[in-house]
Structure 1
């Protein structure tokens, strides 16, 4: 007997690459729901064929207007069960669906999550960076000026930062991160998670940028970047002499000015010295 109930909106997580990550509950919900709302029905058709799921699908993507949202809500109010999926992973995480879920709550429609894989959590657990607190920033702006501004806003964030990035922008993104965060800030690149060519590599921003720039294969596929927060920047990147001078200067100069002097004297990235001084202050 199916556990799918009428007039319920199910938020169903699907695999991000490896089909073996599909949960039995997700398969049951998708097979027995009245309708599946999919981000891209053509893309999701492969998933359905793989698991022999024949439930009718309707498109629900970021360009779906209010009329499509109303249509799905009306079906729910008529007693239909609806399963919402994205192209991969957990719906609504940098994917469409918020208007539908928000309005379902407003109308008193039951919303039921069916958990599974999330690229954010998958990357975090393997990144080797602090995970007790983190901030997910989604996709950075495509245009350089807007991306640089967005990075500047989180440059002093203490929490681990998680970003999605498109493969054709990964080199420019890492270059901008070097400027905003400092060359020595640690970062983990998680690419093509759970897939055949999965890559998980941690390094300094500068070294990772150089590696990605020189390897075209690392400029392909789905990418998650996990960046350490400023609170955890290793003080060992500065010599004892550099740290001592910085600590002395910051007593008589603003941190930014003190950072520039020390960075120039010891040939260090200004951002790294500034991060060290912020750590002292905190």
Structure 2
């Protein structure tokens, strides 16, 4: 019988810590080990894989192709391990969890998932922070947030655990009468919003005139602008409201480009309460059929300090 390779969780945890915290020394501090001990664990993991996982480029460290693949598996293995440990330890879920959600994404579904979870665990304190995706990810990297949902920039996928694709749809008021030849009134978030950019790109490519009739940061204001007939906007199926109708090519509106959304967190920085919330969110996303395995942070640049 062929021997099966066993990836010890302590080795995988050291690997994920190095990636998420950006340095061997920081990973050692988080795990209560020295930098040489962390280096030995990474070498042991490379022996099990049979290939290098991290290579040094100038003064920086970079994941190899095998490292990218292993990172995806490692995150999932550790998440399930910590979920099982929490279940059998029967520890009370307490603490503060800081969650970042973007202004430029339909957060109604995930807000419901998160708030339902906190109602089940009243001893848990939740802090929700909304902003643009780039700002949210900056705050996550600065340890000002514990986990975040944000638009995925394919050039920087640090701390990405899961991702899924959203196809924005054009939405207008039920009784809106639109003439694409006269220019399209848009209801949009301010500049910097991915959905705003998708609308403008699609209309420009179709050589359709447009103007911004409403601009505001909040999703509620955007929805009200659409329902009142002030303008059309790009939404998702989660934020369509009664009084809205979907527009498509038959109405003269070009299709909108897909948007990739991700769940981001630093595993070594999460408390048991945070890990439980991540597991809850992933389970709900899987049940809703909107979650897909995330792509590991293959382009991470990790500085050895």
TM range (shorter): under 0.3
Determine which structure has the larger strand proportion and give its number. 2
Higher normalized contact order (CA 8 Å, seq sep 6+, divided by chain length): 2
Q: TM-score, normalised by structure 2?
A: 0.25
